[in-house]
Amino acid sequence: MHRSNPGVAYQGVPKAYSEAAAGKAYPDCQATPCDQFEVTFQEVELWIADRVVLPVETSLIGMFIALRGVVDHQALTPGLHSLAMAAVGITARS
């Protein structure tokens, strides 16, 4: 895709930490929320988004087990590979 601001799909809802990570990794991106991890990859495969931002782990719950299948999917999909990592600070709310 050729656009000035990259399209970035992320799993979650607007204002989620994944959206914050997308904005940190790609400050001028056009972020698109997706309801499932698999849908984020479909966005790229269908040329709707240029990149995917997914949570790998959090200090609150640790590693995301649900991503195991997604990572396997990525490994089996030609042309998809990891580009970068962004750490986003989380402040616990009471």
Q: Domains in the chain and their CATH numbers?
A: 7-76 (3.40.190.10)
E strands, the chain, are 7-11, 30-34, 51-53, 57-58, 62-63
Supply the pTM of this predicted model.
Answer: 0.70
Express each pLDDT in 32-85 by its tens digit.
999 988 898 889 889 899 988 887 766 666 666 556 566 665 555 666 666 666
Q: What is the pLDDT of residue 58?
A: 64
Element (H, E) at 65: none
Query: CA-CA distance, 3 to 51, in Å (whole number)?
Result: 12
Q: What is the pLDDT of residue 13?
A: 93
